[in-house]
Amino acid sequence: MTHNVSVEVTDGFHLVVDALKHNDIDTIFGLVGIPITDLARLAQAEGMRFIGFRHEQNAGNAAAIAGYMTQKPGICLTVSAPGFLNGLTALANATTNCFPMILISGSSEREIVDLQQGDYEEMDQLNAAKPYAKASYRINKAEDIGIGVARAIRAAVSGRPGGVYLDLPAQLLSQTLEVGHAKRSLVKVVDPAPRQLPAPESVQRALELIKGAKKPLILLGKGAAYAQADDDIRALVERTGMPYLPMSMAKGLLPDTHAQSASAARSYVLAEADVVVLIGARLNWLLAHGKGKTWGKPKQFVQIDIAPTEIDSNVAIAAPLIGDIGSCVAALLAGLDAAGIAQPDAAWLAPIAERKDQNMSKMAAMLARDVSPMNFHGALGAIREVLKQHPDINLVNEGANTLDFARSIIDQYQPRKRFDSGTWGIMGIGMGYAIGAAVVSGKPVVAIEGDSAFGFSGMELETICRYELPVTTIIFNNNGVYRGTDVNPTGGKDVAPTVFVKNARYDKMIEAFGGIGYNVATPEELSRALIDAIAAGKPALINAAIDETAGTESGRLTNLNPQSGAKK
């Protein structure tokens, strides 16, 4: 006599969700379509949060900034081929900025792709991703989903964080597996980003170099903010008495109003320092590669980095300190007293204080100047005073002039509250970062956007309204890229390449989706609108009309634009 035994099975869809949840990942950013729509539905049904976007690049940017804020990889889910390629831009940006992120994309079947037989959205996505990701993996068997997800998580967050690509062929998702076997196949990642302790001799070398410095300087990069070693970093700054400079996304590690901040004397301290301690900062283009006129007198560097290959990338590093930032800073703190490191001499600190006072007085006068139409300083001065009362608000900032002015005018008081164009200096991160920050933190977001930068992700206003996120977007509307004053030299009907529709009303866009719109033309109106928008806690957009003549070509990056100084 034959008995039919019922075997309970699960499938690839469930296993992907189970593997993510097994590793305490609770949010997916993405855009649905073939073959991953049911995966998104299932994730939501299983208690995960799925935030659906209008463009995959913006979903990827949201995942990347979520990873930066939480030290857990942000997850972006896309469809195959074009959707994957849209997400790939954000993945490459995450890798460049050292943000942990996993891009998961559905893909066509291998046997058809490899023979180039013309499948739906056929593309060899794995190999396309490899140059732009820290690691790339493909899962072909349902029983390997657990280990594949675990490998992706560890690759994203260990060592120097970055972007990871995970390829899921369509047939994988429908594969079935016995439930018991499936549960046993899941992998919980243990200690995904283990501490990497610096060598004692390297710590001693760094301490000796600092001890001998006459004009020491600490330079904080966004890696220092990512490390979440906030207390130790503050203790190192304050116990040594060294002046410090924060890169833009490191602002707030110590309040920008801190007495040792040298931001208002940036040019002077970079040129005059003799020993510079780099904490989570790279000597790339943002720091003039560590050489040239910016750096003035010869200097020696202490560099804390988890990647040994970063050392000597542009200039010789006298005291490399290899390890995770938290462990390296803790080791320096532990050795300060024994090394006999004294506070810097007044001959170094006094001229810094003098220049800070001079420059801050100049800035205050520019912010207070009442001009019409409103310029960047007037608008940012108004925003600065409002945000001073809300130090826990997340600030997103992009644009050319809008970014360059805002990062020196808007003070930050808490760490990991400022998100901007980062290492690549790219435009288009605005609404993705704003959504990611709002979702992860549960705190309000203010996004200060140039009108050009906003255009890359502006349709995500609908996403902000759909999920009722407390995001206030401020558009600095000067009618174009850099300025709205260029003219077509031929006299033809086409406007100049940098010019937009004059006097556009971006506030009407958010009203179309149910948000709150404001149209302002003075600092006083901007201040009132921002106060009201923050208090409302709802999706809002402030269209701030800026003098179209106020901007400069390429912002402050004219040295990178060979035509910016060309004679007309």
Please work out, in degrees rounded to the nearest 5, the angle formed at the alpha carbon of residue 25 by the alpha carbons of 20 and 29.
95
User: If pLDDT is split at 50, 70 and 90, which confidence band does 565 have?
Assistant: very low
Question: Which residues does 307 contact at the CB level (< 8 Å), separation at least 6?
Answer: 159, 160, 322
Is 463 a domain residue? yes
What's the distance, CA 128 to chain centroid? 23
Reply yes or no on whether the pLDDT at 299 is more than 70.
yes
Last residue of a domain, one of 185, 210, 227: 185
Residues 396 and 459 placed together within one structural domain of the fold: yes
Task: Count up the domains in the chain and report the number.
Answer: 3
329: domain CATH number is: 3.40.50.1220
For 461-500, strand residue ranges (E) read 471-477
* 521 and 374 in a common domain: yes
Boundary of a domain, candidates 349, 377, 407: 349
* Chain centroid to CA 420: 6
As a whole number of angstroms, the distance between CA 462 and CA 472 comes to 13
β partners of residue 293: none
| Residue 15 and residue 127 share a domain | yes
Tokens matching residue 567: 């004679």
Average pLDDT over residues 142-169: 98
| Whether 21 and 89 share a structural domain | yes
Asked whether residue 328 falls in the same domain as residue 380, the answer is no
Helices within 212-285 (DSSP H only): 222-226, 230-240, 266-272
The SS3 call for residue 48 is coil
Tell whether 112 and 181 lie within a shared domain: yes
Can you tell me the distance from the alpha carbon of 121 to that of 127, in angstroms, rounded to the nearest whole number?
A: 15
pLDDT in tens, 71-121: 999 999 999 999 999 999 999 999 999 999 999 999 988 888 888 888 888
Q: Which CATH number goes with the domain that contains 398?
A: 3.40.50.970
Query: In terms of DSSP H, where are the helices of 426-541?
Result: 430-441, 451-454, 461-466, 507-512, 523-536
Distances (CA, A) of 233 to 165, 240, 278, 326: 33, 11, 12, 8
Closest among 434, 440, 420, 442 to 464, alpha carbons compared: 434
Are residues 169 and 208 both part of a single domain?
no
pTM, two decimals, is 0.95
CB 227 within 8 A of CB 326: yes
Check if the beta carbon of residue 329 is closer than 8 Å to that of residue 305.
no
Of 231, 160, 156, 157, nearest in space to 415 by CA: 231
Confidence of residue 2 (pLDDT cuts 50, 70, 90): low
Residues 501-510 have pLDDT tens digits of 999 999 999 9
Q: Do 373 and 319 share a structural domain? A: no
The SS3 assignment for 490 reads: coil
pLDDT in tens, 13-70: 999 999 999 999 999 999 999 889 999 999 999 999 999 999 999 999 999 999 999 9
Instruction: Name the phi and psi angles at 92, rounded to 5.
Output: -65, -40
Does residue 1 have a pLDDT over 60? no
Domain with 213 in it: 200-349
Q: Do the domain assignments include residue 55?
A: yes
Do both 334 and 393 map to the same domain? no
CA gap 188, 151 in Å, rounded: 10
Mean pLDDT throughout 422-435? 95
